[in-house]
C-alpha cells in the first residue's frame, strides 16, 4: 500500500490507473479505524480494481465548540489496518494542502441540510460537501463508499453528485454494529463504562420502533413521543433530536410508510451519538 500526502501526486496516480483502464473506489474517512471502516474498505475492494482510503480530519466540518482538537487519531495503526484490508493507497493530506492560504470556496447543498444534524451543527454539511468535492477531484474515483449511519450525510452527498453531474457512483453500506447493537463510531472511545451502557438506548429505541411498526403503528407523532420517552427514561441523556422523516427528502412524516426513517441524535456525557433505521411501514 502506498501512502500519498500530496494532492498532485494523488491525482497523478489516479490518472495512471484510469489510463490503464482500471476502476477506482474511494472510502472517505477521518481515521481511527474500527470494524465499520474496514467493512467499507472490503466493500470497496469488491467493486473496484483499486481502492483509495482518504484519512483527513476535516477542520471545516467542526463547529467552534466541537471536538476537532481531541478527535481520536492513530495514523500508524490505521495504515496497518488499511493495508491488511487490501487498500492500494492511503491518501493523507495535511489541512494546509487541502485548504491552502486564501482558500475561499465552499460547496453547499440546500434543502437537505437545514434539518436533523444541520440544526445543532450549522455549517457542518458545507464542510462535508466541500471536502468530499475536493476529494472527488483529487482521487478521481468511479465509485465512493459511505456508511449509512450518517444517513443525512449520505443523502446530501448523493444530492450534490446528482446536481453537479458527477460521474461517481455513491454506494451506501449498512450500519455496522457492536454485538450488543451499538453503532460503531470513532467517538465511542469517548464513552466511560457507564456511558457505554447508556448508549445502548439508541439501538434499543430503534428496535422498539421497528416492533411497534411491525405491530401496525402508523402514527408518526405517537411513535416519536414513545421513543422520546423511552430514551429519556435511561437518565442523564440529552436528546438532540428524535425525528421520523421521509428517507429521500428528510421532511417530517405524519404517517409512517415504507419510505420512513427514524433518526436519532443523543448526547451521553460529552459525546454526541447518532443512529437511524428505516421503519418499513406499508
Catalytic residues: 37
Half-sphere exposure of 18 (CA within 13 A, CB side): 14
Q: How far is CA 4 from CA 12, 21, 89, 117, 199, in A?
A: 11, 21, 7, 32, 36
Rounded to an integer, what distance in angstroms lies between the CA atom of residue 67 and that of residue 64? 9
Alpha helices (H) in the chain, listed in sequence order: 7-19, 35-47, 75-85, 95-98, 117-120, 124-139, 151-163, 193-198, 200-214, 220-232
C-alpha 153/C-alpha 10 separation (Å) is 24
Helix (H, G, I), strand (E, B) or coil at 50: strand
User: Taking the alpha carbons of 40, 46, 47, 48 in that order, is the dihedral positive or negative?
Assistant: positive
Amino acid at each position: 500500500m502506498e501512502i500519498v500526502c500530496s494532492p498532485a501526486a494523488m491525482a497523478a496516480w489516479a490518472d495512471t490507473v484510469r489510463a490503464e483502464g482500471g476502476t477506482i473506489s474511494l472510502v472517505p474517512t477521518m481515521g481511527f479505524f474500527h470494524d465499520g471502516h474496514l467493512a467499507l474498505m472490503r466493500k470497496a475492494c469488491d467493486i473496484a480494481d483499486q481502492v483509495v482510503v482518504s484519512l483527513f480530519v476535516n477542520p471545516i466540518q467542526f463547529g467552534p465548540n466541537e471536538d476537532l482538537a481531541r478527535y481520536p487519531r492513530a495514523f500508524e495503526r490505521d495504515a496497518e489496518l488499511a493495508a491488511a484490508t487490501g487498500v492500494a493507497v492511503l491518501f493523507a493530506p495535511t489541512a494546509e494542502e487541502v485548504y491552502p492560504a486564501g482558500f475561499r470556496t465552499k460547496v453547499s447543498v440546500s434543502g437537505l441540510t437545514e434539518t436533523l444534524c444541520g440544526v445543532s451543527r450549522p455549517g457542518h454539511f458545507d464542510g462535508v460537501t466541500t471536502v468530499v468535492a475536493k476529494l472527488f477531484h483529487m482521487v478521481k474515483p468511479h465509485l465512493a463508499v459511505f456508511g449509512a449511519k450518517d444517513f443525512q450525510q449520505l443523502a446530501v452527498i448523493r444530492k450534490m453528485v446528482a446536481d453537479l453531474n458527477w460521474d461517481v457512483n455513491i454506494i451506501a453500506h449498512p450500519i455496522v454494529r457492536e454485538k450488543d447493537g451499538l453503532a460503531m463510531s470513532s467517538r465511542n472511545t469517548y464513552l466511560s463504562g457507564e456511558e457505554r451502557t447508556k448508549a445502548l438506548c439508541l439501538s434499543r429505541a430503534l428496535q422498539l420502533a421497528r416492533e411497534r411498526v411491525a405491530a401496525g403503528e402508523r402514527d408518526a407523532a405517537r411513535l416519536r413521543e414513545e421513543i422520546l420517552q423511552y430514551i429519556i427514561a435511561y437518565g442523564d441523556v440529552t436528546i438532540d433530536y428524535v425525528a421520523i422523516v421521509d428517507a429521500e427528502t428528510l421532511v417530517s412524516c405524519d404517517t409512517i410508510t415504507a419510505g420512513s426513517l427514524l433518526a436519532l441524535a443523543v448526547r451521553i456525557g460529552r459525546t454526541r451519538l447518532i443512529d437511524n433505521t428505516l421503519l418499513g411501514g406499508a
